[in-house]
Amino acid sequence: SVSVALFTSDLRVRDNPVLRAALDCAYEVVPLFVLDTGISAAGFDVPNRRAFLMDCLNGLDRELRRRGGRLVLRTGDVAAVACETAAECGARQVHVAGGVSGYSQRREVRLRRLLEADGRELYVHDAVVTAQPPGRLTPQSRDHFAVFTPYFRRWSAERLRPVLGTPRSVRVPGNVRSEPVPSRADVKGVSPGVAAGGESEGRARFDAWRKKSMGEYAERADDLAGDATSRLSPHLHFGTLSAVELVHRARKTGGEGAEAFVRQLAWRDFHHQVLAARPRASWEDYRPRGDSWRHDEREITAWRDGRTGYPLVDAAMRQLLHEGWMHNRARLLTASFLTKTLYTDWRVGARHFLDLLVDGDIVNNQLNWQWVAGTGNDTRPNRVLNPLTQARRFDPRGEYVRRWLPELAAVEGPAVHRPWTLPERERARLDYPPPLVDLSQGADRFLRARGR
C-alpha cells in the first residue's frame, strides 16, 4: 500500500505527525512538496522566503535520502497536483497538516473534494505547525480567546502531545517522477543577509542558542544590539523545527529564560487560534476603530527605505532590507511609527514586511500589525511608542543604530539617536535626512483621530 505525506509548513522529518501517520498506515510513502502556483499568484512567493525554502527542501531531501527515501517535488496547483500524484501511485490516503489561514482552509476543502471524488481519503493532522491545535482551547462563551493572558493560563495548563519518534526508514515507490530541487543560488533578488534554512540548520541554531543565550533571554530579549533572541522564526514558519518539541525541550532546560521563550511560542499559538476563528482578520480590521488612515507616498517611501530621520526606526528598516528579518522590539517600534505617528493604514506596512520577511507569515505578521495598530488584540490600543524613549531603553549606547546606519557610524555618544542636535556644520556632513515629522504632533493627530 502507498500513502502521500503532503508537506506544507512542516519541512522536517523529526516530530512530524504528518510523515509519521503516512509511514504508519502504508508500506510505501510519497513525501510530496508542491511549489504552489496559487501562492505565487497571490504574491506571497517573494525572493527571501523562496531562497530559505530552497534550503529547506534540499535539507528535507537529504534527511529523507539518509533514510532510504527522497523528496518528490512538483509544481502546480497544490490540490490538483496532490490528487494527481495520489492517483498515479495508487495511494489511498493523503496526509497533511491543518492550516489556519483562509488560503489553507480553502486548500483543504478543495483537496478533500478532489480526493473523495476519486475514492481517496484526506487526513488532516493537528499540532504540526503549532504546539496546541488552534480551536482546542476556547473560553466558555466564544469560539476563540481574544486576550492573551487568559489564553496563556489555559495554554500552560493544557497537556502537550509527546514528541514523536524519528522515522528510521522511508520507502518511496521507485517510479514516482520528481522535478529537481532548485538551490537558493537559482533565486534572484534575495537580500544579502538572509540566514540559511533547513532542518539541520534549525536544530543547530536552537542547540547553540539554548546553551549560550536561553538563560538570559528573559532579561535581554529586548536589547536591540545584544541579539539575544533565538532567531528561530523562519524555522518555525517553514516548520523545520517543531513547536511542540521546542516547548518540551525548553521546559526540560527550565529557568526564567526558558519560561519567557515558551511564553513567546504561546503568542504564536494565540495568533493562530484567532486567525483560525476569524480568517478575514488577515486583511480586515479585527476590531474596526473607524480609522480614516492617511496615505502620503513620500512618508511611506521614507519609512520603507529607512530614511525617516529617526535613527532607531531607520536602523530597523535597514536591518529588514539587509537580512529579511527584524528584532521584535524593532518591529513593534517601526509598526507603531507607521500606523500611529504617521497614521498610515497597517496593511501598507504589513504588505512591505511580507515582501521581505523570511518568517513573513499571514498569521503572525497580520495579527501583530493589527495588535500594534490598535485594531487587533492589544488591550491598550492607543499607546504610541516614542522612538527616542525606545532608543534610551533598548539601544542605550547606540550600537544597533551604528551597526545598521553607516552614515551615522562615526557619530559619538547619545547624539547618534538625535542627529538633528549636532552642530550645523557636523550635521551638514552627514548624508542623513532631518526628522520626517514632529513626534508629539504625530501622536496627537493619531489620538485625536481615535477620539482621545
Return the number of the residue (16 or 377) whose C-beta is nearest ligand FAD: 377
**Which residue lies nearer to ligand FAD by CB, 84 or 355?**
355
Shortest distance in whole angstroms from residue 369 CB to ligand FAD: 5
In terms of CB distance, is 182 or 226 closer to ligand FAD? 226
For ligand FAD, the closer of residues 203 and 231 by Cβ is 231
Three-state secondary structure of the chain: CEEEEEECCCCCCCCCHHHHHHHHHCCEEEEEEEEEHHHHHCCCCCHHHHHHHHHHHHHHHHHHHHCCCCCEEEEECHHHHHHHHHHHCCCCEEEEECCCCHHHHHHHHHHHHHHHHCCCEEEEECCCCCCCCCCCCCCCCCCCCCCHHHHHHHHHHCCCCCCCCCCCCCCCCCCCCCCCCCCHHHCCCCCCCCCCCCHHHHHHHHHHHHHHCHHHHHHHCCCCCCCCCCCCHHHHHHCCCCHHHHHHHHHHHCCHHHHHHHHHHHHHHHHHHHHHHCHHHHCCCCCCCCCCCECCHHHHHHHHHCCCCCHHHHHHHHHHHHHCCCCHHHHHHHHHHHHHHCCECHHHHHHHHHHHCCCCCHHHHHHHHHHHHCCCCCCCCCCCCCHHHHHHHHCCCCHHHHHHCHHHCCCCHHHHHCHHHCCHHHHHHCCCCCCCCCHHHHHHHHHHHCCC
CA-based nearest residue to 345, from 280, 271, 386, 289:
289
Q: Minimal distance in Å, beta carbon 181 to ligand FAD?
A: 24
Distances (CA, A) of 431 to 324, 407, 426: 24, 6, 11
Is the CB of 33 or the CB of 261 nearer to ligand FAD? 261
| Least distance between ligand FAD and beta carbon 64 (Å) | 25
Whichever of 100 and 122 has its CB closer to ligand FAD, that residue is: 100
> What minimum distance in Å lies between the beta carbon of 21 and ligand FAD?
24
- Which is nearer to ligand FAD, 64 or 338 (by Cβ)? 338
C-alpha dihedral, 275 to 281 to 282 to 283, nearest 10°: 180
Min CB(267)–ligand FAD separation in Å: 4
User: Shortest distance, CB of residue 357 to ligand FAD, whole angstroms?
Assistant: 5
The residues binding ligand FAD (CB under 6 A) are 221, 229-233, 236-237, 261, 264-265, 267-268, 271, 328, 331-332, 335, 353, 357, 359-361, 364-365, 368-369, 372
Closest approach of ligand FAD to the CB of residue 233, in Å: 3
* Smaller CB separation from ligand FAD, 94 or 243: 243
Q: How far is the CB of 31 from ligand FAD (least distance, A)?
A: 25
In the complex, least distance from residue 434 CB atom to ligand FAD, rounded to whole angstroms: 26
Rounded to the nearest whole angstrom, what is the least distance from the CB of residue 220 to ligand FAD in the complex? 10
Beta carbon nearer to ligand FAD, 176 or 317: 317
Q: What contacts 104, CB < 8 A, 6 or more positions away? A: 8, 98
Is 170 or 326 the residue whose CB approaches ligand FAD more closely? 326
